[in-house]
Amino acid sequence: MVTKKKMPARRQQILEFIQGFISDNGIPPTVRDIQKACEISSTSVVDYNLHKLRQAGYLNRRPDVARGIELLDNEGQPVSSAPRVHIVGAIAAGLPLPVFTTEDVQSSEEFDEVEVSPDLQRRYGKLFGLAVRGTSMIDALIDDGDVVIIKPGHEAANGEMVVAWLKQEEEATLKKFYLEGDRVRLQPANGQMAPIYSPAENVEVRGKVVSVMRKFA
């Protein structure tokens, strides 16, 4: 976030609104968004204050684009507006791994982050990331080292890719989920690997894959 400098109260209000709007929505506001939220009499007043904020190095602006505001950091570089998701651990795409835990990581600063699209966050809400270990989902274009973006939850339809917790084994794995009577089939997407079969009461869905961030060599 841009460091505050002493400025007129109205200009400070506009800057803080822009920062909050981008944080909440992943996109910058329009001039009319600013006018309405800050209760400004006209768009020309908004334009004037945006011009002053640009002169002071807080933002760039393309007047010909409705959402052409871009916040700048203290070095004058663009501040990314993309939402960020914590990578809270690793997930096995192969043999199951001891489970990650999310309960204790909410306030941690030790985890890497990845940027996701604003649309993804608006659609699914709270998300977390897991680094993939193994190649059991390679035919689903998920490779070792990729990051899967997970929507937390405990329900899944057959064929959905899930984080499955095997209670008795105390391990987690990334597989496609199939409920078959009183058992669950956790199906890899790799013809050289066999599925995992487990009693339904032994399998708990911890979340579903909603996106994949590719590893680039």
Q: What is the pLDDT of residues 84-119, one digit of tens each?
A: 788 888 888 765 555 554 443 443 444 577 878 777
Which residues participate in catalysis according to the annotation?
136, 175
**Residue 198, C-beta contacts closer than 8 angstroms, at least 6 positions apart:** 166, 183, 184, 186
80 alpha-carbon distance from chain centroid: 13
Domains of the chain: 9-71 (1.10.10.10), 84-213 (2.10.109.10)
Q: How far apart are CA 93 and CA 142, in angstroms?
A: 9
**72, two tokens:** 């700048």
Lowest mean pLDDT among 70-84, 163-177, 179-193: 70-84
Mind listing the pLDDT tens digit for each residue in 151-163? 999 999 999 999 9
Alpha helices in 109-172 (DSSP H): 118-124
Q: Which residue has the higher pLDDT, 119 or 165?
A: 165
Residue 69 β-bridge partners: 61
Whole-angstrom CA distances from 54 to 33, 70, 74, 139, 154 are 18, 10, 13, 48, 47
By DSSP bridging, strand 203-213 and strand 147-152 are antiparallel
Output the pTM of the full model. Answer: 0.62
Query: pLDDT tens for residues 8-34?
Result: 999 999 999 998 888 777 788 999 999
Helix boundaries (H) for 38-139: 43-55, 118-124
Q: What is the mean pLDDT of the chain?
A: 85
Give the max Cα distance, the chain.
67
